[in-house]
Amino acid sequence: MKYNLKNVYDPSLPHKINDFINYLGTIKGKSTNTIDAYKFDLTMFFRFLKLYRGMVANNVEFENIDIKDIDNDFIRSITLSDLYAFLAFVENYRDNGNYARARKVATLRSFFKYLQGKAKIIDENPTSELESPKINKRNPIYLTLEESKNLLNAIDGKNKERDYCIVTLFLNCGLRLSELCGIDISRIKGDTLTVTGKGNKERTIYLNKACIKAIERYLRVRNANADKIKDKDALFISRNYTRINKRTVEMLVKKYVGKAGLDTDKYTPHKLRHTAATLMYKYGDVDIRSLQQILGHENVSTTQIYTHVDDEKLREAVKSNPLSGEYEEDTTKK
């Protein structure tokens, strides 16, 4: 997804946050989703600081705290204690778990690194000693092969061809939600699809027979209304004949997950990405480096969560021990 130029300046934000947001978009090439997350975290941080320091009236709602007046002197006054107070606030009053707080730590580190190294308005970086909450590694949540087939079989209705194609691409290609919504027809060439992932980085997705057939069937339906379509190059079209949005995809996935008798709170589009990765690793004999490239992970450490093995493999591993059949009953006389 391209950086959105209309977000170059937000009058509700302090000058230095706007500068930082522009730096992320134009120099670092961060995606719109990443930029929005940084903006959200920093807005919450400065609203908290004004509240924490008694700079707002008691009757002002948190979401209405004005932070436009944050200046360089205010920024220079921020200490490590302020940062830990903020993390305590989001844990106790915003119900942020370790993952959410770790993201906020990453945002603050990036922002203050920019202020020190690029904007040069601070000499000491208060985040240099800021620790991130410990995150325990968790196995990804995914559908089994049988559950994946049941999900595909549950798809019906007037948008069946489109929805079947969407779920098929999720389950076979491991696409991110934003990548799927951003697919352009012009980027499909034979059995290859070019998508734009995190950080506006392009990668090539190879389409198997199921994906190619699903796309072909859907295009026949889609193109029957070609004259009404507003986003001509968008593959997936909404009922308004514009490019489908992420919320619509989330809702249709939830609907079919329910129809398949699965947990609608547990299985989201991102869990379908987990499913594709797990099935490729489990059944396709795909090595970790290939899987990294397929999923578009910058670091292989991110991909390693898919190298988990299920209970059946563990059971078979124990059974394969050459000593597994060597048990003899104790015949010693008592």
Active site residues: 176, 198, 270, 273, 297, 306
What is the sign, positive or negative, of the torsion defined by CA atoms of 22, 28, 29, 32? Answer: negative
One-letter identity of residue 75: I
Biggest CA pair distance of the chain:
92
Q: Where are the alpha helices (DSSP H) in the chain?
A: 15-26, 32-52, 72-76, 80-92, 98-117, 145-153, 160-173, 177-181, 209-222, 246-259, 269-283, 288-295, 300-303, 311-319
Cα–Cα distance measured from residue 158 to residue 61, given in angstroms and rounded to the nearest whole number: 44
Q: Are 17 and 198 contacting, i.e. CB atoms less than 8 angstroms apart?
A: no
| Nearest partner of 110 among 161, 183, 37, judged by Cα | 37
One-letter identity of residue 287: D
| Nearest partner of 193 among 165, 157, 220, judged by Cα | 165
For the stretch 58-82, what's the b/e string if a residue is b when 16 or more beta carbons lie within 10 angstroms of its beta carbon? eeeeeeebebeebeeebbeebeeee
For the sheet with 188-189, list strands across it.
Answer: 188-189, 192-196, 202-206
One-letter identity of residue 197: G
